[in-house]
Structure 1
Amino acid sequence: MTSQLLKEIRICFVGESFVNGTGDPECLGWAGRICQDAFLKGFDITYYNLGVRRETSTELRKRWLQEVSYRLTQECDGRVVFSFGANDTTIENGKTRISLQDSITNLRDILSIAKDLYPVLVVSPPPIEDKQQNQRMDDLSKEFAKVCNELNVPYLNIFPELIRSDTWMDEVKKYDGAHPRAAGYQAFADIVQNWEGWLNWLKLD
């Protein structure tokens, strides 16, 4: 019996430095790792990393559609994974770069368009070494979950699992206080690639 790959799937990962894989000496990050794993399991995946360092959800909202639609043409099986929010919660000039309410509005605006065009998944931002910012990101992640639930978009809140991960938190601490190295991104990838949302998503016809 001849084995046959599934039809080609093109996936855009849209977000900031964690999507970009900043700090990973293998230049894969978590997004590259889950695509590599899926490819080894027989999925013919074309992987586009659209992570931009320091980008907020307001900046992402302005660029995502043009960048994604350029890569995911109508004739292909195109899909999108969004993961952002960490930069929104960063304090600059005495306040967060983006207010919580504006972050929620940005996510809702993005998903309201995206979900009608492509299969979409959303992954929360991960924890860093800063406890106060972690609290803000935890709050944001919970609000993002509500938006995704309302819009019927699968959402993975990875924050609680990674904050308990010694691998993730140790590498973040030893590197730059925000990003891990290869083992940390592998821990992130292990969670995503075993997530029901990702597994079910790859079964779509």
Structure 2
Amino acid sequence: MTIKRVCFVGDSFVNGTGDPEYLGWTGRICAAIRKQGYDLTYYNLGIRRETSADISTRWLPEASRRLPEGCDGGIVFSFGVNDTTIEQGKGRIPFKDSVKNANQILTVAKGLFPVLMVSPPPIADRGQNMRTAELSQQFAEVCHQLSIPYLDVFSSLQASKVWMDEVAAYDGAHPSASGYSQMAELVQRWKAWQAWFR
């Protein structure tokens, strides 16, 4: 089956915040698929500052309206950075709740649609990156248990001078076009993503 509609659900990184070309990584990978000759409808459901708790309350009605019964559709989730942000002396979402939210979201989604998950990326805050890396590992374990493909972009992007320099130059969190292009390349090379378009 070839996927013909894709919902990307997540936060500002899914939205592509900071990209002057307004494509982000999601728009870039869909444009690449279109150039390969696939007729793809692309829905960007990224919202700035949203945590796993926020996403858990909205993803199903939003995705269901865009992926009606009978269509060849799939969902790519990516979130987590906002969960690890410190506000008023504590993380916005405790780790155990983030993992619980992810498990609940992905369990329901898998029963309805083909599902992929992309890890949260790094930002220009060492402490938060340590928390995000730990959360990403826990998300990877949830996906492993559910047999959902999980792509770790965190490690590669943290080692990327382009990504980290652009994040630091913009707002400390989001890259510009070149950074998003690097993230897009990681997803484009992912066999689980490619398998949707065979």
Please give the TM-score of this superposition, normalised by the length of structure 1.
Answer: 0.95
Identity, % of aligned positions: 58
The amino acid that maps onto 1:77 is: D
Q: Which residue is 2:105 aligned to?
A: 110
Q: CA deviation at 1:185?
A: 0.3
Alignment of 1:54-65 (within 5 A): 54-65=49-60
Query: Under a length normalisation based on structure 2, what TM-score does the superposition of the two structures give?
Result: 0.98
User: Quick one: which amino acid aligns to residue 74 of structure 1?
Assistant: E
Aligned residue in 2 for 1:49? 44
**1:130-145 residue pairs with structure 2 within 5 A?**
130-145=125-140
Deviation at 1:8? 6.6
Once residues 35 and 49 of structure 1 are traced to their aligned partners in structure 2, the CA distance between those partners, rounded to angstroms, is 11
Larger Rg: 1
Whose RCO is larger (CA < 8 A, sep 6+)? 2
Q: Does 1:186 align with 2:177?
A: no
The amino acid of 1:162's aligned partner reads L
Which residue in the other structure is 1:158 paired with?
Answer: 153
**Cα offset, 1:13, TM superposition:** 0.1
RMSD of equivalent CA atoms? 1.1
Counterpart in 1 of 2:68?
73
Count, aligned residues:
198
Maintained 8 Å contact 1:127/1:134: yes
The one-letter code sitting in structure 1 at the alignment partner of 2:191 is: E
Residues 8, 26 of structure 2: 8 Å contact kept = yes
Structure 1 residue runs without a partner (length 5+): 1-5
After TM superposition, give the deviation of residue 75 of structure 1 in Å.
Answer: 2.1
Letter in 2 for 1:46: T
Residues 144-176 of structure 1, C-alpha deviations (whole Å, 9 max, x = no match): 000000000000011000001111011001111
